[in-house]
A = this chain, B = another copy of it.
Amino acid sequence: MEQYSIEVCYSPDLFPLYENKEAVVVVVDILRATSSICTAFENGAHAIIPVKTRREAMNAKENGSIVAAERNGLILDFADFGNSPSNFTKENVLGKEIVYSTTNGTKTVQMAEECKAVAIGSFCNFTVLLQWLIAQKSPITILCAGWKGKYNIEDSVFAGALTDALLTTQQYTTMCDSAIAAVDMWNTHKHNLRALINKCAQHERLRSNNLDDCIDYCLTFDTCSKVPVYVAGKIVPAKIN
């Protein structure tokens, strides 16, 4: 059986070193962008358009779009709503196209557009993502959004969980130290993930802004049944056979 490689990239700033045009890239920003994107599609969003800058998001708002936007955890003043999964309710998103801009996650999605495919990963869509990835029969790069280019724990431990599940199928192999370390972290903490997350910097940022009520949700497996993919500038649900 052919085996495909898995690599884990801990920072968007390192992505050029890991870029593999043949690979499917899974973008990860557990707290909170990719958890929110999965939630949006579960609640019937039509599409999400990631934009990099505050200015692009503001222009979209002025042109009548629905805009979700935050920086450093806080909603931008012109936006319709912020970056918590609880903002992406049926009421806010059903049948709608949403322009979305966040500190780390949304710009990371755009980085990988030249690769074979770009999918959105979170604990919320873990199992359906896993099944979709296996069906792609491709190498996989898990791209952690991190925090302003720095490594973060929550994205890395998700990368470990996903890598571990992929390796279990025997269809994959890895010689990537980031992947090996991430799997190790996952296996050390999988029975008490919340205790690990409580030690991480993003937990403290969210807590200090009273935004940490989303954390348990973001660490819960399989609340969503969609695999969002980035195609031609928009994130849409992948067609699943």
Which A residues are closer than 8 A to B by beta carbons?
10-11, 13-14, 17-18, 147-153, 156, 175-178, 180-181, 184-185, 188, 196, 199-202, 204
Contacts and interface: CB of A to CB of B under 8 A. Distances in A.
B153 A180 contact: yes
B151 A177 contact: yes
A181 B177 contact: no
Given A13-B17, A188-B188, 7 more contacts: A10-B10, A150-B176, A152-B177, A153-B180, A156-B181, A175-B201, A184-B188
A185 B182 CA distance: 10
A147 B185 contact: no
Interface pairs A-B: 5 shortest CB-CB: A151-B178, A153-B177, A152-B177, A17-B149, A177-B201
A78 to B, nearest CB: 29
A130 to B, nearest CB: 23
* Oligomer: number of copies: 2
Given A14-B13, A14-B149, A151-B10, A184 B181 contact: no
Contact of A153 (B11, B14, B181): B181
A141 B188 CA distance: 26
A17 to B, nearest CB: 5
B175 A204 contact: yes
Contacts of A147: 177
